[in-house]
Every structure is written in structure tokens, then in C-alpha cells.
A and B are shown apart, each in its own frame.
Chain A
Amino acid sequence: MYWEGEKECIDRGTLKQLQLERLQSTVLRVYMNVPFYRKKFDELGIDPDSFRSLEDVSKLPFTSKDDLRVSYPYGMFAVPLREVVRVQTSSGTTGMPTAVGYTRNDIKNWSNLAARILVSGGVTQNDIVQIAFDYGLFTGALGLHYGAERIGASVIPISSVNTKRQVKIMQDFKTTALMCTPSYALAVADTISEMGLDLSSLSLKYGLFGAEPWSEEMRNELQGKLNIVATDNYGLSEVMSPGVAGECALRNGLHINEDHFLIEVVDPETLQPLPEGKTGELVITTLTKEAFPVVRFRTRDLTSLITEPCACGRTFVRMSKVLGRTDDMIKIRGINVFPSQVEAVLAEIEGTEPHFQIVLDRKAAADEMTVLVEVSESIFFDQVRKQKNFIERIKSRLTSELGIPVEVRPVEKQTLERLDGRVKKVVDRRLV
């Protein structure tokens, strides 16, 4: 099922022409309207009229999160504020916030693109959608909210509240689709079992999860525990927020709304474009944004592209589930480690919930990596020997997976430091 079938299944040749037209006018508009880009283009001697192919995008400079921070709050807006109908900020988990704005048309496009994501995740006008993302300045909730209303679904804008209440509302209102971070969905699943509720007393069918990387193992766990079809969706405030990409029912990569976004995957160190299928940093150029267009925005998210046609009929290229962030990449004894690798190992080993924290120390000039794992109480208080064996198993799996020695320490549930419901995955004490 599609929301805008004609566009989502557009012939690739027509799409390329559309992207070229939109890229050409976007480059022209950012040059004319955003001093930051005008200055940068002039310095680099870039003629905004010289873009003749989509490949020419590689001549453009990158836009980094730092560029946006320097221009905070309104420096990157391409229209006067009186034309902006909404101002939001990026989630701010990775540093200073950045402000983004939307015109009326931007909101309309955003709603439509979010609607595409919802429909591809299974949501219809008959669904009752519970949005457990934080409302307010964070873009995640409102984007999905508008998309769901656009479809005609019934929206419960519950935001982030106490999880028990969340479950109660879910039960009372017969919620059929849950939208939140995958880690929060896990907390919901745990609460349901703690409350001793039977899954059949709930009406859940779909889970649309996003805003943080999550593994296939976690998907399986969520689908099993909540008896839902769980799909991943991707977006970021700097580019738009939910609506950039989303999985279809086949759950094999996220279709990118290419009629609105031009995407590249580059090597995060050399910044050279990578061939299809290679993992690198996702770079996005907006093609239709009016208030806040960005050119070659470095998302810091690691993914790879799948160009093989999808059986769902959508012709948009897919991106693999985000594997982590380039910022998350930690170099330990010269080896690149991603927290997502640790997550995958933990999820594999029965009995652990994938809440963990990597702590890095430097002793005698050697890096030491310790993984703190939140384990269920039964294991924590069980016989010492059994617990030791369990920890040893995680340790040896991690050591072989990462290729470096790893220490593992169990901690009690809910003891790891959380920020907006997310566990801080890496604590690097090496610099201090």
C-alpha cells in the first residue's frame, strides 16, 4: 500500500530528471538567499549556474552540524522569519542545539512524507496511533503526528509520560500503532510483562520505531514481545525529521524519499563518495525545503545503499538500518569499534536486555574497554558461579567480535545514566 503511489513508484529516469531540476534550483536559491552558502560558494569559486548533472553535487562543499551551530539560531534560514510558520530544534543529544524552520509548504511536504512512512509501515486511517515521542521542540513527535492526521488515523499525542500510564492508555484506547524509540518500546514491553498484562488485552499491530540505531535482534525481540510488525524509520531535524526514509512491510532497508532528498554515502574520513553497498556516512541535500535547505549535510549516520529494486514496488533506493554514528565510532587500540556491534552481541545472548554502556579508560598507555550491562534481577541475584559463566560468555563473544580485550560488568536494571530515555552508550574517560 502506498500513500503517494505515483511518486513512490516513479520511473527512475523521470526521478533523475526531477532531482536534477530540483537540485539546480536549490543550489541557486541557497546561493541567493543564504549568506553562509553564498560566502562558501564564492570562496570555492563555485558558479551556481554550472550544475548540469546529479554527479555535480560532489563539487559542492559539505555542511556540518558545526556550521549549523555557528549560524544558530536563524543564520541558515533561506526565507525571512515572517514566512516561517514553525521553529524547532534538533534533539540536542550530541551537543548544542541547532534551530530549524519550516514554511507552510515545508509543513505540508513534511506531513505527506511522514504519511508515506506511516503507510509503508502498515498504518491506515483505521488505526489508532499512539505517539510516545517527546513533543515540544523535538521534531520526531510532531512530524509523525501530522503524518498520521494526514492519513486520517486517530492520533493519541501522549508524548513521554510514565510508562505504566503509557501502557494503560494503550490498553484503554485500543492503540494499534505505537511510535517511539526502539529502546522505549522495549521498556513498554517490560512494563507490560511487569504489570502482568496479557498481550491479548492489547490491540497493538504496528510499531514504527526510530530516532536511534537498533539491530535486527532488537526488532525480533520487539516483534515477539509486543506481537507487532516493527518497522524502522529515519529522519533528522536538520534535514526535516521523520519522513526522510522508512521501511516497507518487507523490512529490508529504508526507502529514501528521493524526490525530496538527494543522497550520497561517503567515507567519513576521506569524504570521497563510496560505491553502492559500502558502509559510510550518509550525506543529504534537500531538494524541496524552502525555509531550511541544506546542501550535502553530513548526517554522521553510518549506512549503506541498496539499489536493487524492492518487491514492494517502490522505486526509491533503500538505506540499510543505521549502524551507528560516525561520532560514536571509537578507536580502541587503533581499532574502530561501534556501539552497535556491542548491542548486536548482547541481544544475541539470551537473558540480556540491550541496555549497556561502554566505558573507556587508559591505563599505562593502553586503552581498556569495559561494557556495563544491565541484566535482569534473576540473573543478578542468582548463584555467583552461574552469573560468572554468563558474564564470561558475553566477554568472550565481545572479545572475538571486536578483536580487542573487553571487560564486562553486570549492573542492575535502570542504573545506567539516561538522557531523554536513552542510555549514554559511550563514556570515554581516556581524555580526562
Chain B
Amino acid sequence: MLILKNIDVFYGKIHTIKRVSLHVNKGEIVTLIGGNGAGKTTILRTISGLIRSSSGDLILDGHDISKQSPDSIVKTGISHVPEGRLVFNPLSVEDNLLLGSYNRYSMKNRSIIKSDMEMIYTIFPVLKKRSKQLAGTLSGGEQQMLAIGRALMARPKLLLLDEPSMGLAPIVIKEIFRYIVELRDTYGLTVLLVEQNARSALRIANTGYVLETGRILLQGPAEDLLSNRDVQRAYLGRDVDYEI
């Protein structure tokens, strides 16, 4: 579905992403793991058009999207759930969700959008309960669900998820990851997941990529990466047997 081939990204003179190649198959969860500053977020931002790559191919379903604007990339079917969630605090949950459908919002589409919103409420019942509440009053986990729900309102084929577990309690992380699996298994969504919480990410992913200083060091089936000792040592904190 999505193919990156030799993507290079520069921040000023600094070569942050070095000829990264990766691919995401339809209906899979692919995770990108790596330490702080490895370039994980940069890759997601490059895919959604917020950063321009200096060279390389960015192909969605056979079409090059590397020159497209962020909003037209949303229209082609990629939604980005940013790091830190970035929900609109002063707006209600419902308005946050509605904003997610901005790319197709019109009077004509109102009933479709309404039913899509009902669908989001079915997936995340807690959002329905809080639909009139201001987003800023939600808990971290609920805000993450809202951020995902908002992204889904654009009807994406591919969801980019940046650190959904950040700042959440282990039990809440578990819940969020369960939702991600459900999105793939029940709704057939394709997910590119960036995570610091490598173990949880590899557990639910089909394929994984290990990023180190802007380069892909390893790629393979997620279960192989889980049992790779290098990955265990560097990213899974083998000594601290912290698992969720």
C-alpha cells in the first residue's frame, strides 16, 4: 500500500533521514521503533507531507505523493495522529471529531458524516459518553482515543500513529493497543505505528523496522525482531522486565 524508497530528509544541513526504504502492506500493522531522535516522527511527518523529503519516492497505491500538500494527502487516504495527541482543548469531543472530517465536509455529506461519527462512538463508547464535554477535560487515554477517532473521521486507508502510549499509565496503554489491533482486525485498517514502547508495539505488529540515527538497521517480521537480542538490549530494556 505505502512504499518509501530511498527517502532523504534534511533539517537545514543535517541529514536526518538517510535513504530510508520501507513498505506497509494493506491490512497490516507496521511499527517503526528506535531511540529518541532516531527520526521516527520525521518519517511520519514526511509521509503526511508536513516535511518535504529532499529525494526518494513516496508511493501510495502506486501513486507518487511526495509532492502533494498535506491536505491532499489526507484526501488520498492517509491520516496522521500526532505525537502528544494535540486535540483541540476548548472544543467539545463532537466538534473535535467533526473537524476530522473537514476534508469532505459539506451539507450534502452531513448524514454520511453523522453516521461515521456514530461508528467512531461504537468503536470508542467512552467518546459518546463525553461527546458534549470539552476535549481538554478528558483523561490522557480518552484524549488519545479522541485523536484516533478524529483521524478516522477522514476515512483513511492508512493511519499514522505517533507514540500513542506517550504519558499514559500501563493499563491505559494496554487499552489503546487493544483498540489499534481492533482497527486492523475488525475494520481492516492499515497502521504505521511509531513507538518508544517497542515491546508492546512489536507484540501487535506484523512487521517492524528498527531505526537508528536516521537509518534502518533491521527490518523483519515483528516476532523475529522481538527475539533479536540486539533489539532486546537496545530497545526492549531486557534488564528492566517492564512489560504491559
Instruction: Using CB atoms and an 8 Å cutoff, list the residues of chain A in contact with chain B.
Output: 14, 17-18, 20-22, 24-25, 28-29, 32, 49-52, 79, 82-83, 103-105, 108-109, 288, 290
Contacts and interface: CB of A to CB of B under 8 A. Distances in A.
B228 A105 contact: yes
Interface stretch (B120-128, B153-161, B177-185, B215-223): B215-223
Given A79-B230, A83-B229, A105-B227, A22 B219 contact: yes
A83 B233 CA distance: 12
Contacts of A288: 220
Interface of B: 3, 5-6, 18-19, 21-23, 215-220, 224, 227-230
A28 B215 contact: yes
Chain A interface SS verdict (over half): helix
Given A21-B21, A24-B19, A24-B216, 10 more contacts: A17-B21, A20-B5, A20-B21, A21-B23, A49-B18, A52-B19, A103-B228, A105-B227, A105-B228, A108-B224
A17 B224 contact: no
A21 B25 CA distance: 14
Contacts of B217: 25, 28-29, 32
A14 B24 CA distance: 10
Nearest to B25: A14
Contacts of A28: 215-217
Contacts of A14: 23
Contacts of A24: 19, 21, 215-216
B18 A25 contact: no
Nearest to B224: A105
A29 B215 CA distance: 11
Chain B interface SS verdict (over half): strand
A293 to B, nearest CB: 12
A51 B18 CA distance: 10
Contacts of A32: 217
A72 B18 CA distance: 34
A25 B5 contact: no
23 contacts: A14-B23, A17-B3, A17-B21, A17-B23, A20-B21, A21-B23, A21-B216, A22-B219, A24-B19, A24-B216, A25-B217, A25-B218, A25-B219, A28-B217, A29-B218, A49-B19, A52-B19, A79-B229, A82-B229, A83-B229, A103-B229, A105-B227, A288-B220
A82 to B, nearest CB: 8
A354 B164 CA distance: 67
A68 to B, nearest CB: 23
Given A14-B23, A18-B23, A21-B22, A290 B216 contact: no
A258 to B, nearest CB: 16
A54 to B, nearest CB: 11
A288 B217 CA distance: 12
Contacts of B230: 79, 83
Contacts of B227: 104-105
Given A28-B215, A103-B229, A108-B224, A52 B6 contact: yes
B93 to A, nearest CB: 40
Contacts of B23: 14, 17-18, 21
A28 B218 CA distance: 9
Nearest to A14: B23
A79 B224 CA distance: 15
A314 B215 CA distance: 32
A51 B21 CA distance: 11
Interface centre among A20, A24, A49, A50 (most CB of B within 10 A): A24
A50 B216 CA distance: 13
Contacts of B21: 17, 20-21, 24
Nearest to B216: A25
A17 B218 contact: no
A29 B217 CA distance: 7
Contacts of B220: 105, 288
A275 B6 CA distance: 26
A340 B3 CA distance: 45
A190 B19 CA distance: 58
4 tightest CB-CB pairs across the interface, nearest first?
A83-B229, A21-B21, A52-B6, A105-B224
Contacts of A51: 19
Nearest to A290: B228
B219 A21 contact: yes
A103 B216 CA distance: 20
Nearest to A16: B5
A167 to B, nearest CB: 41
Contacts of A49: 18-19, 215
Contacts of A109: 224
Interface centre among A20, A28, A83, A105 (most CB of B within 10 A): A105
Contacts of A79: 229-230
Contacts of A108: 224
Contacts of B19: 24, 49-52
A175 B234 CA distance: 47
A79 B231 CA distance: 12
